[in-house]
Structure 1
Amino acid sequence: MELQSIHNKVVLITGASKGIGRAMSLLFADKGATVYAIARSESQLKELATEADNKQGCIIPSPCDIRDSSAIERLIGQIVHEEGRIDALVNNAGLGHFGPIHELTEAQWDEMMDVNLKGVFLCTKYTVPHMIQQQGGHIVNISSVAGTVTFPGGGGYCTSKFGLMAFTDVLTQELKPHNVKVSVICPGSVQTEFGQSAPKEYALRPEEVAYMAYQMIAAPEHVIMNQLIMRPVVPQHLQKGK
């Protein structure tokens, strides 16, 4: 399958200051896109933009809290004013708190719902009207394997990611008539700063997840990859029953 060029495409990526978001920002800039990197840490975003100085495209630091409705509305409006369009939105920002449901604090629960669901809703809400107007675009949501299966201690995180899967499915149906594609990636364990424990050495690399997002957006016009589940290969000696 021959991929389309994303040179000069305008791509918004949330949670861009580290992990998967950072890897995506660098890859998309390397492919020639204009990347608006969104996260709360302005200093980390500036460092990221500097790292992309020698690439075909560019990274524009866009500090913003995706839970802040008015801030997101202003940012999206500013980007459309400057660029005239938005070609892709990658809703990547996410976090998790883990433990038995009765031991989770209300603040931990609210933070997961605010970042993993409300933030996605707000970024999508203010981007979609522009994509409908231009009759084209692509929204990629970064969910998790935890959005397809549950596990003890993942009550809040799984709830938010299952919600994101439902959100993605509804959005797919609503935007299909407007030539706007919607995709979701569900990675398993990834080598990022996430949760309370260190990532497993065999876990997926952020760059691998980033490349799949790139393939989704650069796929031929008549092709849409709706849902992708990614898991790392577990070494044989660590597999159950070995």
Structure 2
Amino acid sequence: MQFQSLHNKVVMITGASKGVGHAMSLLFAEKGATVYAVARSEGLLKALAMSAENGEGTIVPAPCDITQGQEVEALVERIREEHGKIDILINNAGLGFFAPVHELEEHQWDEMMNVNLKGAFLCTKYVVPHLIARKAGHIINISSVAGTVTFPGGAGYCASKFGLMAFNDILMQELKPHNIKVSVICPGSVQTHFGGTEPKDYSLEPEDVAYMAYQMAAAPKHVILNQVIMRPVVPQPK
């Protein structure tokens, strides 16, 4: 399979300050893309950008609260003014709080829905018109295995990720006639201390998920990798 080059591609990645988003930003820049790294922490984004200074591409710190429509709209316009286009949007930002339904705090529920679902909606809403105008582009949503199966204690997180899966499917249907690709990755446990839990030593590495996103983005023009579920290999007892 002949991969497309990411040179001269403009990529917007949310949740870029740490974990999977951090790894994706570095990899896409290494492959030659101009990456707008989006998160709320400007300090972490500046450190990320400095760590990629010797790569073929560049990382541009882009502080933004993706739950605020005006901030997202302004960022998208900034990218278009600076580069004239956005080629790839990766909706990666996400967080999780885990507890039985009756113990889950209202603000925790709201924050998961705002970041995991509303944030993806707002970024997509403001990027899509520019992709449609060019009849080209790719949106990659980072969901979770928790968007395909449920588990006790995961009511809010699963609800947000199941919602993202539905959002992804509808987006794929709406944008297919405009020659815009839509993909989703559903990782299992990743070594990121997500949700305040200690990762298992056999969990996926952030770079594993980043490489899958790269493969999706660089796939031949006639190929869409719609959905990939990634799980770590669990060591068997000896």
Query: Match for residue 200 of structure 2?
Result: 200
1:105 aligns with 2:100: no
SS of the residue aligned with 2:195? coil
1:94-113 Cα shifts (integer Å, max 9, x gaps): 00000101110110000000
1:6 aligns with 2:6: yes
Distance 2:193 2:146 in 1: 17
Query: Match for residue 229 of structure 2?
Result: 229
1:39 aligns with 2:67: no
1:34-82 Cα shifts (integer Å, max 9, x gaps): 0000000000000000000000000000000000110000000110111
Q: How does 1:91-130 map to 2 (within 5 A)?
A: 91-130=91-130
Distance 2:189 2:136 in 1: 32
| TM-score normalized with structure 1 length | 0.97
Distance 2:200 2:38 in 1: 27
Structure 1 unaligned blocks of 5 or more: none
Deviating beyond 4 angstroms after TM superposition, the runs of 4 or more aligned structure 1 residues are none
1:131 aligns with 2:131: yes
Identity, in percent, stands at: 71
| TM-score normalized with structure 2 length | 0.99
Distance 1:3 1:208 in 2: 18
Q: How does 1:211-226 map to 2 (within 5 A)?
A: 211-226=211-226
SS of the residue aligned with 1:61? strand
Distance 2:102 2:53 in 1: 48
Amino acid at match of 2:74: R
Distance 1:67 1:195 in 2: 19
Structure 2 unaligned blocks of 5 or more: none
SS of the residue aligned with 2:124? helix
How many Å apart are 1:19 and its aligned residue?
0.2
Query: Match for residue 52 of structure 2?
Result: 52
Query: Match for residue 152 of structure 2?
Result: 152
1:151-184 Cα shifts (integer Å, max 9, x gaps): 0000000000000000000000000000000000
1:128-149 Cα shifts (integer Å, max 9, x gaps): 0000001000000000000000
Query: Match for residue 184 of structure 2?
Result: 184
1:167-216 Cα shifts (integer Å, max 9, x gaps): 00000000000000000000000000211320000000000100000000
Count of aligned pairs between the two proteins: 238
Distance 1:165 1:80 in 2: 28
How many Å apart are 1:2 and its aligned residue?
1.7
Query: Match for residue 25 of structure 2?
Result: 25
1:2-52 Cα shifts (integer Å, max 9, x gaps): 211011100000000000000000000000000000000000000000000
* CA RMSD between the two structures: 0.7
SS of the residue aligned with 2:27? helix
Distance 2:141 2:28 in 1: 16
Query: Match for residue 16 of structure 2?
Result: 16
SS of the residue aligned with 1:236? coil
Q: How does 1:156-175 map to 2 (within 5 A)?
A: 156-175=156-175
Distance 1:42 1:193 in 2: 21
Amino acid at match of 2:5: S
Distance 1:71 1:94 in 2: 18
Amino acid at match of 1:132: I
